[in-house]
Amino acid sequence: MFEMTKNHRVSPAVRDFLILLVFVAVGVGLSLHFDLFERFVGWSLAYESRQLDETAIISLFLVLGMAVVGWLRRIEYLREIGSRDEALGALEDSEFKWHQTFESAAIGVAIVSMKDGRIVAVNRAALDTTGYTEQELLSKSMTEILHPDDRDASVARLRRMLAGEIPSSRSRVRYLHRDGHTRYALASSAPLELAGKHPEQLVTHVVDITEQVVAEQRLQDLVDAKDQLIASVSHEIRTPLSAVVGYAQLLNGDVSHLTDSERKEMIATIANEGADLADIVEDLLVEARADNGVLTVASVSVDLRAQARQALEALDREARGDRISLVGSTVRATADPARVRQIIRNLVSNAIRYGGEEIRIAFQGGPTYVSLIVSDNGPGVPLKERERIFEPYRRAHTRPGLTASIGLGLSVSRKVARLMDGELVYTYEDGWSVFRLELPAAL
């Protein structure tokens, strides 16, 4: 009744005032025209009404108006209570869904204060990613978790967001895990928009990409190693091949001017260089077969000292000279003789290239495993490279005056040792670089 249009309603206060005004006006009118009042209230009340004065009639209608206003207010109150309950329920439902979404997100999510960079809220994934407890993270700022070398760049991006130069930030950063090591993450940050308010917080999503970065680095290392392999194989093969081809051409021509000793020396050189070529090809083939899972090994009783002596005889005498000595009595292992010689050849060649002036091959027995130990008094492998030297195409260092190896010897040797149920490990003990080949003891 008191609506003007659908979009222009009178306020409750105005409506109530108008209702009271109408009732008071009716009361005033009836008090001035008592005959009408008699008809209005009925004849049975007319006699008693004559005793009423004008003020009483007006007061009566004022009370009736107030009763109507109270009734309307009660209906509005009940409607408002119902609306508030619905709104509160919707708000609680929305808050529950937001909380569940926040907590169950598969990636780390953090709410960060734009004022001082303090972390004000984190989800479970963020705790799992960083290793911190919730209390620990809430006591830190975002910059405290970042790697020191990445903090300045992150702060600069934050300032650009605050200045409105960029709407959000997305970058690869390093952060410090609780255990102290550095990890990598893809971090995305944007202002947390609230209706009608200037943003005071950032929402930051963090995806740990450490495994991806490590895989990328390994792939790059492998690409670099492959490039080095091509160069090394080319050089390694060219050197002995040049000698083989050169001496073969000389021997194929007029040899009347050559003495018997010269011819024998040329033939011996061809044989030695051919053996080196065969060793390179053998390592490449074994590496490929081991990677493809098609390399097989024999399992027989092997005299390790005899295999070591045979492997040494196949090496270039000039290169090994008198540097190598066999120490201790022999032991017997269950292994593949050809693969054992291949391991010994690789270990001794490695010691000749990079080791000291003295090289020892020793043997140790045991109830279940026996060992063949190749050691030299050289400078040893740098600590950070001691496990990586067993990776394919990996070299810890080079020595002046020696051609670079192709970097497969140690990798092949460990793979072959493990195929024979053994192991190959490296240590540096009392100034000696030690490679220990362990194999099952012969029954």
Q: Do 271 and 404 fall into the same domain?
A: yes
Question: Which pLDDT score, from 0 to 100, does residue 237 have?
Answer: 75
Beta-bridge partner residues of 250? none
Question: Which pLDDT score, from 0 to 100, does residue 422 have?
Answer: 95
More confident residue, 51 or 13: 13
- What is the percent of the chain where pLDDT is above 90? 15
Q: Given 81, 101, 121, which residue is the final one in a domain?
A: 101
pLDDT bucket at 403, cuts 50 / 70 / 90: very low
| Helix, strand, coil percentages, rounded to 5, for the chain | 55, 20, 25
CA–CA gap between residue 83 and residue 98 (Å, rounded): 22
Q: Do 80 and 147 fall into the same domain?
A: no
pLDDT tens sequence across 101-149: 667 777 888 888 877 888 888 888 888 888 888 888 888 888 888 888 9
Q: Is residue 3 part of a domain?
A: no
Mean pLDDT across 40-54: 51
Q: Do 28 and 63 fall into the same domain?
A: yes
Q: Do 298 and 253 fall into the same domain?
A: yes
Q: Is residue 307 part of a domain?
A: yes
Question: Which pLDDT score, from 0 to 100, does residue 407 have?
Answer: 65
Q: Is residue 261 part of a domain?
A: yes
Q: Do 274 and 387 fall into the same domain?
A: yes
Question: Which pLDDT score, from 0 to 100, does residue 404 have?
Answer: 40
Mean pLDDT across 235-247: 77
Q: Given 208, 232, 251, which residue is the final one in a domain?
A: 208
Q: Do 93 and 145 fall into the same domain?
A: no
Q: How many domains does the chain have?
A: 3
More confident residue, 320 or 66: 66
Q: How many other C-beta atoms can be found within 10 angstroms of the C-beta atom of residue 76?
A: 12
Q: Is residue 6 part of a domain?
A: no
Q: Is residue 360 part of a domain?
A: yes
Question: Which pLDDT score, from 0 to 100, does residue 46 have?
Answer: 46
pLDDT bucket at 194, cuts 50 / 70 / 90: low
Q: Do 185 and 230 fall into the same domain?
A: no
pLDDT bucket at 19, cuts 50 / 70 / 90: confident
- What is the percent of the chain where pLDDT is above 70? 79
Q: Is residue 2 part of a domain?
A: no
Strand, helix or coil for residue 281: helix
* Domain at 431, CATH number: 3.30.565.10
* Domain at 144, CATH number: 3.30.450.20
Whether 318 has a pLDDT exceeding 70, the answer reads no
Q: Do 268 and 377 fall into the same domain?
A: yes
Domain interval for residue 312: 217-440
CA–CA gap between residue 121 and residue 138 (Å, rounded): 7
Q: Which two tokens stand for residue 151?
A: 């903090």
Sign of CA dihedral 118, 123, 129, 131: positive
Dump the DSSP string for 186-239: EEEEEE--BTTB---EEEEEEEE-HHHHHHHHHHHHHHHHHHHHHHHHHHHHHH
Strand, helix or coil for residue 424: strand
Q: Do 202 and 230 fall into the same domain?
A: no
Mean pLDDT across 150-173: 84
More confident residue, 55 or 424: 424
pLDDT tens sequence across 56-98: 767 777 788 788 878 888 888 778 887 776 767 666 665 656 6
Question: Which pLDDT score, from 0 to 100, does residue 41 have?
Answer: 55
Q: Tell me, rounded to whole angstroms, the distance of Cα 359 from its chain centroid.
A: 43
Q: Do 374 and 330 fall into the same domain?
A: yes
Q: Do 307 and 186 fall into the same domain?
A: no
pLDDT averaged over the chain?
Answer: 79
Question: Which pLDDT score, from 0 to 100, does residue 363 have?
Answer: 95
pLDDT bucket at 427, cuts 50 / 70 / 90: very high
Q: Is residue 76 part of a domain?
A: yes
Strand, helix or coil for residue 240: helix
Whether 187 has a pLDDT exceeding 80, the answer reads yes
Question: Which pLDDT score, from 0 to 100, does residue 34 have?
Answer: 58
CA–CA gap between residue 350 and residue 390 (Å, rounded): 12
Q: Given 182, 208, 234, which residue is the final one in a domain?
A: 208
CA–CA gap between residue 48 and residue 54 (Å, rounded): 14
Q: Do 168 and 228 fall into the same domain?
A: no
Q: Is residue 4 part of a domain?
A: no
Whether 8 has a pLDDT exceeding 80, the answer reads no
